[in-house]
Structures are given as structure tokens and as C-alpha cells.
Amino acid sequence: MFERVLVADGDVDARDRFHEILTGLAYKVICVPNSSELLTRLRIDRPALIILDENLPTQGGLEAVHEIRKFDVDIKIVILTANDPDISISRLNSLGISEVLKKDFSTHIMMKKILELLKEKKFDIVNEKRQGIILIIDDEDEIRKILSAFLQKKGYIIVTASSGEAGLDELKARSFDLVLCDVRMPGMDGLVVLRNIKRINESTKVVMLTALQDKDIIGAAIKEGASDYLVKPFNLGKLDAVIASLLIPFPPAK
């Protein structure tokens, strides 16, 4: 992979966290503390993505975007804010900003969005050395085979189950870092499986797979403790972003 990501942030802790997380996912990370160094670096290098703090020293983040767009109109830019974003859609579009995200390392949401952007541009199934044991619970044999082959290429250890009941037996026998669970299955449905997974081990991360964009089902899954969900058919890049962001070994807050 080795795509380049440029992180521009005046906070050394934030730069350190992004560097550790993204290099661990096989990205080449360049960190700068202010807009002057950002613009200097961009004259000699073109990263796939710029992660830019809104309160970047020397210039603010939006002012830095104006300068970047004078010589590069295509590069993807993510703006990080201290609070929930309040930048208007029209302004985002006018500056060509891909995402405005709250800077928050306490959940996987920020990193999931960043990884989805990185995987939009280029997506190759290559051998990697990810760590983690993942259980796939799905009654469709073809889905299990596709997901298993893809995730094994990433380096994960994969166990599969063709029913909710079989999946729960696996969970009683060993621990898993993450479970992918289909919502609609014969016998025990996915939401019942999810509830029982949490009874076995409340800390197990579960991503629900659903063929329908059903807000009630999605809401119920989140209420039962699902970490995230994907709507079928989903591309493997989006799946990769969700799993990678959930399994990131985040450094402790300082």
C-alpha cells in the first residue's frame, strides 16, 4: 500500500497518535506542526490525503486549504474540529473539503471516515499483516467464502459459522476480537445472536450485516450494543475501513 498521508496539527499528541495508527496500517505518514511547514512540504510531495486541524498554527485550517487549492485542486482534505462540525455544505464544496470530522480518538468513527477516503482512490487486495481473530456468522456460503478470503489476505485469523447457534458455540469456546454477523438468518436472527454475544462477552465488537437500509433494525442493533453496521451489497474497501478502525490499538489518552 504505502500511500502517503500528511498530518498537519499543532498538537504533538495528535500527530503522534495519527502516526502510530496509520503507520500500523501500512501508510507512510508525514507530520508537520504548522501551515508554513505544510505548504513547504506540499511543494515537494503529493500525499493521497491531508488531515488538517482547524486551529493549525500560523494560519487556521481553512486559510491553509485556500493556499493548498491555489496549486492543487484535487488532493483530498479532511478538517478536524474540536467540537461537532458546523461548517456549511456550500463552503465545504467551494473549498473541495472531503470531510469535516470531530477530532476524537475515543471511538472508531473518525478513523473509519479517514480510512474510507483513503480507500476510495485505490483499492488493491494485497497480503498484509493485520492482527486479530474475526468470527463471520452468515448463512450464505458464498458470503462466508468471499469475506474469509479477503480478510485472510489482510492477515486476520478467520473462523466462520453458518448459523447464529453455531456462532454462539464458537464464542463460548474462544475469544474473538470482532464478529461480523448477518441480520437475517434461518433460526436465530442476527439481533438475537447479538444480544447473546453480549451476554457471553460484553466487550466483543460486533458489526452487523444487513441487506436492507432499515432504520428500525439498525437502531435496534446499535441499542443492543453493535459497534457498527454495513448494508449489503457493500464494497470490500468499506468493510476494510470499518474493521481496521474498530481494531486499532489506540494509545491511552494523555
Domain map (residue ranges) of the chain:
4-121, 133-234
Strand-pairing partners, residue 135, are: 159, 179
133-234 belongs to CATH 3.30.70.1170:
no
Q: What is residue 253's predicted lDDT score, i.e. its pLDDT?
A: 46
Q: The C-alpha cell of 83 is what?
A: 467540537
Residues 45 and 30: their CA atoms lie apart, in Å, by: 10
Round to whole Å and give the CA distance between 92 and 123: 25
Listing DSSP states for 65-115 in one string gives: HHHHHTT-SSSEEEEEESSS----HHHHHHHT--EEEE--SSSSHHHHHHH
The pLDDT of residue 235 is above 50: yes
Q: Please give the Cα distance from 26 to 31 (Å, whole number).
A: 15
- Residue 190 and residue 184 in contact, taking contact as beta carbons nearer than 8 Å: yes
pLDDT digits (tens, 9 = 90+) for 123-144: 454 556 688 999 999 999 999 9
pLDDT at 123: 47
- Please indicate whether residue 248 or residue 19 has the higher confidence score (pLDDT): 19
- The CATH architecture that domain 4-121 belongs to is 3-Layer(aba) Sandwich (3.40)
Output the pLDDT for position 254: 47
For residue 95, count CB atoms less than 10 angstroms from its CB and return exposed for 0-12, middle for 13-18, buried for 19 or more: middle
Mean pLDDT, residues 142-158 taken together: 94
pLDDT at 229 over 90: yes
Mean pLDDT, the chain, rounded, equals 90
Grade residue 81 by pLDDT with cuts at 50, 70 and 90.
Answer: very high
Residue 246 banded pLDDT, cuts 50, 70, 90: very high
| Residue 184 vs residue 91, higher pLDDT | 184
The answer on pLDDT for 120 being more than 80 is: no
Look at residue 57 and give its three-state secondary structure. coil
Residue 111: count of CB within 10 angstroms of its CB: 23
Does the pLDDT at position 158 exceed 70?
yes
